[in-house]
Amino acid sequence: MAKTPKPVEALNYEDAMAELETIVDALEEGNQKLEDAMALFERGQALMKRCAELLEAAELKVRQLSGDELTAFEDEEQE
């Protein structure tokens, strides 16, 4: 019996991305019935949205902490 996956909203970025990668691999194999492939695709879309939301939240936090000015990282070894 397949275990029920965690709700997408409960996943952190790393877990959501790992599951999304697994889904992409499974869909690329193409061994699922259409119904199963559609369910995987739907879950993948939800995971992509979750990852985007978490990245946006992280960017907002960085902007708040840096005074709304994002700067590029510079290579410290350059002289």
Return the CATH number at 44: 1.10.287
In a domain, 5, yes or no: no
Whether 40 contacts 26, CB under 8 Å: yes
3-32 pLDDT per residue, tens: 788 999 999 999 999 999 999 999 999 999
Main-chain phi, psi angles of 36, to 5 degrees? -70, -40
The answer to whether residue 79 scores a pLDDT higher than 50 is no
Residue 76: the pLDDT is 58
Provide the number of structural domains found in the chain. Answer: 1
Q: Is the pLDDT of residue 1 over 60?
A: no
Instruction: Look at residue 23 and tell me if it is in a domain.
Output: yes
Instruction: Measure the CA–CA gap between 34 and 39, rounded to whole angstroms.
Output: 9
Highest mean pLDDT among 44-53, 60-69, 70-79: 44-53
Which residue range forms the structural domain that includes residue 14? 10-65
Task: With respect to residue 21, please indicate whether it lies within any of the assigned structural domains.
Answer: yes
| In a domain? residue 2 | no
Give the separation between CA 45 and CA 40, rounded to whole angstroms.
Answer: 9
pLDDT for 68 = 67
pLDDT at 5: 85
